[in-house]
Amino acid sequence: DSGVTQTPKHLITATGQRVTLRCSPRSGDLSVYWYQQSLDQGLQFLIQYYNGEERAKGNILERFSAQQFPDLHSELNLSSLELGDSALYFCASSVGNSGSSGANVLTFGAGSRLTVL
- The binding site for another protein (CB under 8 A) comprises 2, 4, 31, 33, 35, 37, 41-45, 48, 55-58, 88, 90, 92, 94, 97-102, 104-111, 113
Distance CA 74, CA 88 (A): 16
Nearest distance, CB of residue 16 and another protein, angstroms:
26
Of 78 and 90, CB closest to another protein: 90
The set of residues, in sequence order, having a beta carbon less than 8 Å from that of 4 and lying 6+ positions away, is 23, 24, 25, 26, 91, 92, 93, 107, 108, 109
Nearest distance, CB of residue 34 and another protein, angstroms:
11
Of 65 and 97, CB closest to another protein: 97
Nearest distance, CB of residue 54 and another protein, angstroms:
11
Query: For residue 83, how far is the Cα from the chain centroid?
Result: 19
Torsion of CA 7, 88, 65, 27, to 10 degrees: 50
